[in-house]
Amino acid sequence: MKVPLQLYDDVGRVYPRKNLYLRDLAAAQADGDKAAARQIRAGRATHPHTLQLEAYEKEKKAFFAVLPKVLEAEWEKAEAFDDPVLQRLEKSLIRQRELAKFYTPYVDLSYEAEYEAKKATLMINRLPVMIDKRKKLLAELRQAKAEAERIDPTDQTAAQTAFNTRKEEIRRLTVKKNQDLRSLAKQGQISKKAVKQGIVSNNKEANVLIQAEKMKLPSEYSKDLIANLKHQLTQGFKDQEMLLQDELSDIARTTPTEVEPGPPWKYLVTAPIPGLGQLLNGQPIKALWFFLGALFTFLVAIPYALGYGNYRGDGIAGLITLAEGGKRLDRSIIFMIEGIIAIFLILFALVIYLLSIRDVYKVERDQKRGIRPKNRFEVKRTSATKGFPYKVSVPALILITFIVLVPIVTALLLSFTNNDPQHQSKFTWVGLQNYATIFTGHGMVGSVFWRILGWTVIWTITATTLTILVGFMLALLVNNDRVKGKRFFRTIYILPWAVPAFITIMFFSIMAAPGGFFSQFLTPLFGTTVNIKHDPALTRIALILIQTWCGSAYVFLLTTGVLQAIPSDLYEAAKIDGANARQRLTAITLPLVLFQTGPLLINQYTFNFNNYTIIRLFNDGGPPQPTTYGNLAGTSDLLISYIFKLTMENQHQALGAAIAILISLGLMIVAFIGYRRTAAFREN
């Protein structure tokens, strides 16, 4: 493996090699002298720098062997402190002094020695300050507690009396200030809003003054002082430690590491068990998280995929067999769903494996370049900052997987089966047979599909376009400067949206029923009995008009907001340029309205394509026409209501799933094309 001539730290700065053996090898490789490189490799054991490193390692081993005995005598001084934190700081200071003595002579020999020496030096400089400050705070705390115990009850009583008197004075003065403000308001000199703000300000000022007077009480002063000192000893000390850890991390980021060349291998070790490679890299926190991932893999994902822990399925194998040859109570749909869940669990486990391998490989590769692995403090900080989006996204991803993705995949796979009235409990894979039935128009199901698709497209385009036009025209009318009573008209036009849609639809359904108001009103006009709900054409017209009534209020509200935001200067400039009303409408109003509402208007088309509610509540898809639609649908059914009847009432789940998949794909394509053509989408 080629050895780089230079090293890099975590911030990208370049450093020369201190390992002279590796430097000589890198120089030979850079010159293309393979013979010299082989000779240097062969003489590695006898290279002067290698011998120096071996001697250093022996001395290091001997130093750490006697270090506990050296520290034991010194630690007796630290153990004299009652405060365990002080004991720990003193012991750490003593240890760092000994480490600095050992590593400092070797800083030119190895970057590891330089790193340890820098850490020890920093600790030697910072720990005495922390120790002195803590000693001072502890002394002040002991003194404050002692003074609190020596408070004279007579002085406390006198101070309490003075405080009560002063508090009443402050409150009376505040009441007077508030009364003066109200008097000014009655005289019309200031507004009610100014009075409210003034009263709030006066009350806050009074509370501050009362709190300041309260602190003159000996007991309150002592209590506050003790609480402040305790806070400095806890939170203040934590802040000092965090600052120290941050400085140590800076040393790690700016001091390279130098390791022997060779291909990465730790990522191969972590392949069987996620977390093992992180442990070898000296990152125990990462290792713990990936070990939990390994437990999930071996105790949940793999057993479930093999069929263990399934409700009645057989894991991934059940997805293939679909309970064929199984017990009488075994159902193919259960086997399919549990097989899909098993696949997702395996995918989660695979992601954990890949992330573990990628992390170990990156750390090991960076080490070859000179970058040190992140220590525990850096891992925790990175997890709290850069890792925060992943922490909040993973639970949502898991929820989406089982609530959204599993049902979608189930519907997709179900469309490739023969799940029909004759195969409810046990069904098998039939490939593209359902899609062929639909596209070729074979049988009653296929022919009905194309008829309903045609009506669904007509309904979507007509009802939605009419809704948008009516809502837009009403908004233009109400926002015209010459119209009086705008608030009244806006309230009236929004009412259809404020009233729940199902109430409106049921109301019109009753009015359009035989004997209803509409039928009785239209019959004399046409000279014949008019049954709206019994006539396919009239039913469809009625549905379009009802949807226009229900949906135009929403478009009216959207358009009104945009129209009110258009600067009047634009219209004034257009008038000066000689633009008439139609030109102002087409050149200013329409482009700005469509820019703001274009994506929402496209949503109206996709919503109406699947508007099940109005079809179901108005006439349940009727009137029926058995010669054309059989018993599968009615003449006003949309594809969404057709799917419901096909699956829930006629048990053709596979065909229903195939149609649902086709609808979803079609809507996604149409919506995407529509979004791409809107200016708002292109500019974001």
pLDDT digits (tens, 9 = 90+) for 309-366: 888 888 898 888 888 877 778 888 899 999 999 999 999 999 999 999 999 988 888 8
pLDDT band for 680, please (50, 70, 90 cuts): low
Inter-axis angle of helices 48-78 and 84-103, nearest 10:
150
Per residue in 63-95, pLDDT (tens digit) is 999 888 878 777 766 666 678 888 888 888 989
Give pLDDT tens digits for 481-535: 777 777 787 778 888 877 888 888 888 888 888 877 887 777 777 767 678 888 8
Residue 401 contacts residue 351 (beta carbons within 8 Å): no
The predicted pLDDT at position 123 comes to 94
pLDDT classification of 661: cutoffs 50, 70, 90: very high
What is the C-alpha separation between 347 and 292, in angstroms, rounded? Answer: 16
DSSP H helical ranges for 255-331: 266-269, 276-280, 284-296, 302-305, 315-321
| Residue 368 pLDDT exceeds 90 | no
Beta partners for 7? 15
| Average pLDDT estimate for 382-390 | 78
Question: CA 103, CA 291: separation in Å to the nearest integer?
Answer: 35
Length of the chain counted residue by residue = 684
* DSSP labels, 329-341: T--HHHHHHHHHH
CB 563 within 8 A of CB 593: yes
Q: Which residues of 30-67 are buried (b: 16+ CB within 10 A; e: fewer)?
A: eeeeeeebeebeeeeeebebbebbeebeeebeeeeeee
Residue 234, amino acid:
T
Instruction: Report the pLDDT value the prediction gives residue 9, as an integer from 0 to 100.
Output: 86
Question: If you average pLDDT over residues 231-258, what whole number do you get?
Answer: 90
How do residues 527-557 score in pLDDT, each as one tens digit? 676 788 888 888 999 999 999 998 888 888 8
Amino acid at 597: T
Convert 399-434 to b/e letters by CB count within 10 Å (16 or more is b).
eebeeeebeebbbebbbbbbbbeebeebbeebeebb
Please state at what angle helix 237-254 crosses helix 376-385, rounded to 10 degrees.
100
Q: Are 271 and 357 in contact (CB under 8 A)?
A: yes
Banded model confidence at residue 57, pLDDT cuts 50, 70, 90 = very high
pLDDT over 70 (residue 458) = yes
Whole-number pLDDT of residue 658 = 92
DSSP string computed for 407-461: HHHHHHHHTTB--STT-SSS--B-TTHHHHHHHHT-HHHHHHHHHHHHHHHHHHH
- Residue from 264, 266, 296 nearest 278 by CA: 266
Sign of the C-alpha dihedral, residues 317, 322, 326, 330?
positive
pLDDT category, 679, cuts 50, 70, 90? low
CA distance 674 to 607: 14
What pTM was estimated for this model as a whole? 0.78
Question: What is the C-alpha to C-alpha distance for residues 67 and 62, in angstroms, rounded to an integer?
Answer: 9
Rounded Cα–Cα distance for residues 244 and 90 (Å) = 15
Closest CA to 546 of 474, 476, 619: 619
Q: Residue 184: which of 200, 173, 172, 196 has the closest Cα?
A: 196
